Amino acid sequence: MLSRTAALRPIVSHHTSIASRRWLSASSRLNQAVGTPPAATVTVKKSSGGFRGGIIGFLIGSSLAFATSFTYLRNEWKVRDDILMEDFASLRATCQRVEARFRLLEDQIAKIAKK
């Protein structure tokens, strides 16, 4: 088994080196024919803002989520507060009516007691 792999290894490496040389030589000839500079002279800018962009995106997203939830909760609180104030107003009106009835009854009792 080992002898087979050892025997195939030089053939495979020989064919890959020929194929890679042909590909590189064809691409350099093609670049010369078209007039484009070879790929070795092209400088590639490294993107170093990925980390900062991630932090800024996170901060913007969390700020937007906070603002949205805050306005929603504030609106809900205002609606509940308005409902509660209406309930207090109706309770005050009811208490005033009950007080008026008690005064009327006390006056009637006082008139009956005088007789």
Each residue's pLDDT tens digit, 3-36: 555 555 555 555 555 555 555 555 666 556 666 5
Beta-carbon contacts of residue 31 (< 8 Å; ≥ 6 apart): 37, 38, 39
Give me the pLDDT at residue 49, please: 62
Q: Judge whether residue 79 has pLDDT over 90.
A: yes
Over range 64-75, report the average pLDDT: 98
Count CB neighbours of 68 within 10 A: 10
Task: Calculate the alpha carbon distances from 68 to 33, 55, 61, 76, 78 in Å.
Answer: 59, 20, 11, 12, 15
Residue 54 pLDDT grade (very low, low, confident, very high; cuts 50, 70, 90):
confident
Give me the pLDDT at residue 106, please: 94
